[in-house]
A and B are shown apart, each in its own frame.
Chain A
Amino acid sequence: MEILSLLAGGFAVAATPTNLMYCFIGSLIGTAIGVLPGLGPPATIALLLPVTYGIPATSAVILLAGIFYGAMYGGSTTSILLNIPGEAASVVTCLDGYQMARQGRAGAALAISAIGSFLAGTVSVIGLMLLAPPLASFALRFGAPENFALLVLGLMMVGYLGGASMTKGLMMALLGLLLGMVGLDPIMGSPRFTYGVWKLSEGFEFVLVAMGLFGIGEVLVNVERTLAPEVLKTKISGLLASREEWRAAGLPLARGSLLGFFVGVLPGGGAIISSFVSYALEKKLSRHPERFGKGAVEGVAGPEAANNAAATSSFIPLLTLGIPGNASIALIFAALLIHGIRPGPLLVAERPEVFWGLIASMYIGNVMLLVLNLPLIGLWVKLLEVPYLVLAPFIVVFVLVGAYSINNSVFDVGTTVVFGALGYVLRKFDFEPAPLVLAMILGPQLEGALRRSLLYARGDLTVFFQRPIAATLVALALLMLLSPLVRWALARKFREIVGPVSPAPD
């Protein structure tokens, strides 16, 4: 009951007219930058940081946090409408979200992602409120070997994103791992594949690669196809999702929320991993896995719920340990510092009004985002009624300006164009770029975790089997790897006993 009175105190802080206004402004800006490609939440929060010097600490955090989780809502919009992932966590949303849009179900996809985000965000805030301290100590037990095992498990699931052909998916993942090698070696700091170009020494920036491969690549393919008129006739049937679609989305939403919440606590790429693990999980559980990649509702609902839940739970390491888990949270940490608050193990006890005010504002913010985003759906869907030949140049400009805005760099624009060309080629040969992008992000993390584990263990490979969490994750990965083999062996055994099975009558 104590928690309820604390939460009530939080609401008293968050529900003052000024704080409500900051919460609304944060959510609004967040949605806007989520929709615009390029400028991401960290850059926006940095821009607005000086503005928060003059306002009370709690208001500042409410505003900045609103931008962060608001962007998670907005990020899926361009994925669904234009096949441009706004941030890493919405790459997976492109797979089925964009296909739904092409089948005239853009409204449904947007509605499911908005309401899914709302539900997942709310579940995650409740979890944050009830479970933060124990989860934080769990996260501390994640050393390098545990991270490595989790990443192995995650990368194995990347193959599921490859559409019809797993082989092609794995080929793309391999290419992604290679591209991820570009830059400074994570352990020694020696340059690899940079060819003396300083710009490359931090590797390829994810947003540029994704906007090129997905955004520009898609435009090139479509412009070519538009010559044959009937292909892009998008008929919009029904603005919101149908009853069947909601039924299909329900369980994936629940599973995605839980998955995102737990994986998001881990520092690093929690939101990204949770989004595609959720996708792989839904595909595996589905009775019709062949629909995935062709506009399956579950393929939007699960990952969207997961990445929003993860965004919220990534506040846990900051609020309980004082350690920011990603770039945006690091800036919120800085904002707190400037206001004389040191986030850390003592925050909840010393400054309860900040902690509970933030939590309450997250409840409020999620409602605001829902109210803000649902009416926008109609507007977004209208956008698709614009003839593609008119829309296409705008998309290209939009993407290139976005690319420039990240670092004010022409080199970045060039990178986007080159990856755009690659995206076009890949699409021509029916390769799905999602595994490439995800492997590119996870590759360096995987390498770092492996080499770190071996450094700590002084070269002892058994470290992955001696630690309970790592061993469990490795066992799961092995099980996944071997499951086709086991199934095949069982089937053979079965035939031996029963005798040849006659083919089912047609």
Chain B
Amino acid sequence: MRRLRFLAAVVIAALAAAPVAAQEFPTKPVELVLPFGPGGSHDLTARAVASVAHQYLGQPLLVVLKPGGGGAVGSQHVIRAKPDGYTLLFGGTGPNTVFALVQKAPIGVEHFTPVARINHSPAVFAVRHEAPWKTLREAIEYAKKNPGKFSFANTGPWGAADYPMRLIARAAGIDYTNVPHDGGGPALLAVLGGHADATFGFAPQLLPQIMASKMRALAVSGGKRFGTLRNVPTVKEEGFDVNFTMWRAVLAPKGTPPAIVEKLEAAFRKMSEDKSFQALIKQLGDEVDFQGAKDFEATWRQEWDVAAKVVAGTPK
């Protein structure tokens, strides 16, 4: 009750201040908080955005790293910040959907006002070149016939490899050996070294392996085929009703005035259309796929509902 009243007070105060603030916004640099450490795809994408932000926002966009707690530390920093549009989160599927649900962290869809999704990456299902399976369907059939024999190296519990594999296993009804590794590199090494049968990875890490014929990509987890891997079918095409991408989106604290959200949304939309920004994202092996506040909120809620069921372990 007290929280509700507090929220109401914040919203009223914000609304009252909105007309003046929105016209001038932004009058000082905007902070984009990253709930991760340096160097990941999230960091690189955020820096690519920041590199073109000034001309569209009128103020610099500062990337601030607040790692820790599986993304909870940075996320909560933004949730608790003044909802004035100057403190934003560069959130993602990892912390704000999966971690939020699995660890019951209050950093999920209910706690933010979405501003814009910059892009999203599908995960790529890959096996060692020597593996007998030529398609995802073959691999899953093998797993079905040999319960527990098919070993899958994931990049950490509930991470970007584990989660889509759980979705597939749920859709296909298979029992496989699921082995968590300490990040994408070690999981890839486990498959390359023949210790595990398959993993999910992102295109930039997997492409060199695929081009050198060390690994074979069997499917991509997104709703449509992806970038440089046009000849690789989606998981859905292979007959499993799964659609998963890791999104990267700008989120504002709840109670940020709509006028400011609109202004930010418009600025981020222009940044995502910037030529040099698009070139940088392409170099990272990703595609820009902008979604505005309304559309993205719908996408996120849909993802959230599916994830909630998977995490709760309820059958489909």
Interface residues of A (CB under 8 A from B): 42-43, 45-47, 49-50, 53, 139-144, 184-189, 191, 198-202, 267-268, 317, 321-325, 327, 330-331, 334, 337-340, 342-347, 407-409, 445, 448, 452, 455-456, 458
On whether the beta carbons of A199 and B73 are closer than 8 Å, the reply is yes
A322 touches B105 (CB 8 A): no
Bound together, the chains give a CA A108 to CA B177 distance in angstroms of: 54
Complex interface residues of chain B between 201 and 228 (CB less than 8 A to chain A): 204-205, 207-209, 211-212, 214
- Complex Cα distance, B148 from A338, in Å, reads 40
Closest to B212 in A: A345
> Looking at the complex, which one of A339, A344, A452 makes contact with B180 (CB distance below 8 Å)?
A452
Known: A50-B47, A345-B214. A43 touches B69 (CB 8 A): no
Instruction: Give bound CA distance, A284 to B177, whole Å.
Output: 42
Contact between A185 and B65, CB atoms less than 8 A apart: no
Tell me if A407 and B186 are in contact (CB < 8 A): no
Bound complex: CA of A324 vs CA of B204, how far in Å?
A: 12
Interchain CA distance A186-B38 in the complex, whole Å? 21
User: Counting CB contacts under 8 A, is B195 at the interface?
Assistant: yes
CB contact under 8 A between A407 and B38, given known A189-B158, A344-B211: no
Q: When A53-B51, A456-B196 are in contact, do A324 and B185 touch as well, CB less than 8 Å? A: yes
The answer on a CB contact under 8 Å between B157 and A189 is yes
Task: Enumerate 17 A-B pairs (CB-CB under 8 Å) in ascending A order.
Answer: A43-B37, A46-B43, A50-B47, A139-B189, A140-B193, A198-B68, A202-B70, A267-B186, A268-B186, A323-B188, A327-B37, A337-B285, A342-B204, A344-B207, A345-B212, A408-B66, A445-B182
Cβ A344 vs Cβ B208 within 8 A: yes
With contacts A49-B47, A189-B157 taken as known, whether A198 is within 8 angstroms of B73 at the C-beta atoms is yes
The distance in angstroms between the C-alpha atoms of A198 and B205, with both chains bound, is 30
In the complex, residue of chain B having the shortest beta-carbon distance to the beta carbon of A452: B179
Given that A140-B193, A343-B208 are known contacts, is A338 also in contact with B188, CB under 8 Å in the complex? no
Contacting pair A407 B193 (CB below 8 A): no
Contact of B139 with A by CB under 8 A: no
Decide if B51 touches A143 in the complex (CB within 8 Å).
Answer: no
Contact of A143 among B73, B193, B214 (CB under 8 A): B193
The B167-186 residues at the A interface (CB cut-off 8 A) are: 177-182, 185-186
- Identify which of B103, B192, B193 contacts A191 (C-beta below 8 A): B103
Q: Does B119 contact A (CB under 8 A)?
A: no
Inside 8 A of A47's CB, which chain B residues have their CB? Answer: 38
Q: Which residues of A contact B14 (CB under 8 A)?
A: none
| Binding site secondary structure of chain B | mixed
In-complex Cβ contact of A456 among B38, B64, B156, B177 (8 A): B177
**A344-B212, A345-B214 known; A338-B44 Cβ under 8 A:** yes
Asked if A330 contacts B72 (CB within 8 A), the reply is no
Q: Check if B283 sits within 8 Å of A340, measured CB to CB.
A: yes
Cα A187 to Cα B186 in complex, Å, equals 14
Cα A158 to Cα B196 in complex, Å, equals 31
Q: What CA separation (Å) do A120 and B193 show in the bound complex?
A: 29
Whole-angstrom distance between the alpha carbons of A317 and B185 in the complex?
10
B243 at interface (Cβ–Cβ under 8 A)? Answer: no
List the A side residues contacting B185 at CB < 8 Å: 267, 317, 323-325, 330
Provide the B40-56 mask, 1 if CB < 8 A to any CB of A, else 0. 00011001000100000
Asked if A337 meets B283 with Cβ closer than 8 Å, knowing A187-B157, A188-B157, A343-B208, the reply is yes
Known contacts A46-B39, A338-B280; is-contact A455 B214 (Cβ 8 Å): no
**Most chain-A CB neighbours within 10 Å: which of B69, B156, B285?**
B69
B284 touches A338 (CB 8 A): yes
B307 at the interface (CB under 8 A from A): no
B-side residues, CB < 8 A to A, are 37-39, 43-44, 47, 51, 64-70, 72-73, 76, 102-103, 105, 148, 151, 156-158, 177-182, 185-186, 188-190, 192-196, 204-205, 207-209, 211-212, 214, 280, 283-285
Question: CB distance A186 to B182 under 8 Å?
Answer: yes
User: Within the assembled complex, what's the spacing in Å between the Cα atoms of A338 and B151?
Assistant: 33
A140, B192: Cβ atoms closer than 8 Å: yes
- Tell me how far the C-beta of A189 lies from the nearest C-beta in chain B, rounded to whole angstroms: 3
* CB atoms of B283 and A143 under 8 A apart: no
Q: How far is the CA of A345 from the CA of B129 in the complex (A)?
A: 13
The closest CB in chain B to the CB of A328 belongs to B39
B179 A456 Cβ-Cβ under 8 A: yes
The A/B interface has a contact count, at CB < 8 Å, of 155
Please tell me if the beta carbons of A187 and B180 are within 8 angstroms of each other in the complex: yes
Instruction: Say yes or no: A346 contacts B195, CB within 8 Å.
Output: no
Knowing A187-B180, A452-B179, the reply to whether A199 touches B69 (Cβ < 8 A) is yes
B179 touches A199 (CB 8 A): no
Smallest CB gap from A47: residue in B: B38
Query: Which residues of chain B have C-beta atoms less than 8 A from A324's C-beta?
Result: 185
**CB-CB under 8 A for A346 and B43, given A189-B156, A189-B158, A407-B66:** no
Q: Add 17 more A-B contacts to A188-B157, A337-B204, A342-B207 (CB < 8 A).
A: A50-B47, A50-B51, A140-B193, A142-B193, A186-B157, A198-B69, A198-B73, A198-B105, A322-B208, A331-B38, A334-B284, A344-B211, A344-B212, A345-B208, A448-B180, A456-B179, A458-B177
Once bound together, how far apart are the Cα atoms of A143 and B103, in whole Å? 30
A185, A188, A345: most-surrounded residue (chain B CB, <10 A): A345
Q: Are B70 and A184 in contact (CB under 8 A)?
A: yes
B contact residues around A452 at 8 Å (CB): 179-181
With most chain A CB atoms within 10 A of its CB, the pick from B66, B178, B214, B285 is: B214
Closest to B44 in A: A334
Closest to B149 in A: A458
Q: Which residue of A lies closest to B183 (CB)?
A: A330
Q: Which residues of A contact B105 (CB under 8 A)?
A: 198
Q: With a CB–CB cut-off of 8 A, which chain B residues contact A342?
A: 204, 207-208, 211
User: Which residue from chain A places its CB closest to the CB of B106 in the assembled complex?
Assistant: A198
Q: How far is the CA of A416 from the CA of B76 in the complex (A)?
A: 22
Q: B65 to chain A: which residues have CB within 8 Å?
A: 43, 46, 407-408
Report whether B37 and A42 are in contact in the complex, using a CB–CB cutoff of 8 Å. yes
Q: Is the CB of A201 within 8 A of B193?
A: no
Top 9 A-B pairs, shortest CB-CB distance? A344-B208, A46-B38, A189-B157, A198-B69, A345-B212, A198-B72, A143-B195, A140-B193, A331-B39
- B76: chain A residues within 8 A (beta carbon): 198
Q: How far is the CA of A188 from the CA of B76 in the complex (A)?
A: 24
Q: Which residue of B has the minimal Cβ distance to A318?
A: B185
A408 proximity list for chain B (CB < 8 A): 64-66
Complex CA distance for A462 and B102, rounded to whole angstroms = 34
* Chain B residues near A185 (CB-CB < 8 A): 157
Taking CB atoms, residues of chain A closer than 8 Å to B205 are 322-323
From A205, which residue of chain B is reached at the shortest CB distance?
A: B68
In Å, the complex CA distance between A479 and B72 comes to 45
**Alpha-carbon distance between A331 and B47 when the two chains are bound, in angstroms:** 13
> B247 CB to closest chain A CB, in angstroms?
20
B208 engages A346 (CB within 8 Å):
yes
Residues of B within 8 A of A191 (CB): 103
* Across-interface contacts of A445 in B (CB, < 8 A): 182
Inter-chain CA distance A188–B151, complex, in Å, is 16
